[in-house]
Structure 1
């Protein structure tokens, strides 16, 4: 077996990177995708050869029209394939701290109409009603990690 063969036989994992972005009232930013019912946080799949931090910053620019610097890694969350999605690999979902967005910057959010219908600022309780349960748990963990100043590891947000 060649080294090239070895690399192609290794398992694959999906890597996603999202952002905890809050407003001056400590509400969480969530976005409404056009392609599914559940809301999401800003972010997405990390592309091949791209670092997770670069990936989330790219997604923030693509999804919100904002060039934001993300800082600390808050959560590493292992996610098994969701039920009803055969062929989708398990993955590592990372949440980075994108800070507090001042009102003047929040007013400049522009969404790509083909990908996102809308956005809104939510309390944790409101977000729990919009996000998939494991993402809602992941975001509670992200807030805890931000407050503690240390990253957290979880599995399905637990």
Structure 2
């Protein structure tokens, strides 16, 4: 049987679809994770970040989205804490979703006081201990938070998979 190579556009059309997001993971000076409450789903807490725009790298996306959502002009170096794979979510979101979570470092009390949220995207921010976040979040989302926090504390990188629900 002869190998038949498809032109790139035809080959790409056969591959699974995926979108990508990138974000920054911050803690306060006591090591408590910082998260934002989404306006479009009030039970959802997330890190400053969002979907990649055409032509952006994951790092550029994380820095841009952080600035837009919090007013924080992040100037640190990229350090990947983990990747997150969300399986296909049906017709509501007909593609897999891949996330890149970068280390944003530590926010001081002064930096936290200067945060300006985009009211179209987030209604509030909080810093809490992992135990406090566990009571506030869905089990799947908390598991992702706990894995990223573990990666930060241990200096490792993690890979996390979750299913379609939030």
| TM-score, normalised with respect to structure 2 | 0.83
Superposition map of 1:39-118 within 5 A? 39-68=45-74, 69=76, 71-82=78-89, 86-118=92-124
Counterpart of 2:24 in structure 1 is 19
Question: Alpha-carbon deviations, 1:24-67, whole Å to 9, x = none?
Answer: 11111111111112222221112222111111111110100111
Partners of 1:10 and 1:85 in 2: how far apart?
Answer: 17
Q: 1:15 touches 1:92 (CA, 8 Å); kept in 2?
A: yes
Distance 1:131 1:14, change over 3 A: farther
Partners of 1:87 and 1:156 in 2: how far apart?
Answer: 14
RMSD value, Cα: 2.1
Counterpart of 1:131 in structure 2 is 137
Q: Which runs of 5+ in 2 are unaligned?
A: 1-5
Partners of 1:40 and 1:49 in 2: how far apart?
Answer: 24
**Hey, which bits of structure 1, 4+ residues long, moved more than 6 A?**
none
Q: CA offset at residue 81 of structure 1?
A: 3.2
Question: Alpha-carbon deviations, 1:51-107, whole Å to 9, x = none?
Answer: 11111111110100111135311111221134x763432222221100001121111
| TM-score, normalised with respect to structure 1 | 0.87
Partners of 1:48 and 1:121 in 2: how far apart?
Answer: 32
Look at both structures and tell me which one has the larger radius of gyration over its CA atoms: 2
Partners of 1:71 and 1:3 in 2: how far apart?
Answer: 31
Determine whether 1:150 maps to 2:147.
no
Q: Which runs of 5+ in 1 are unaligned?
A: none
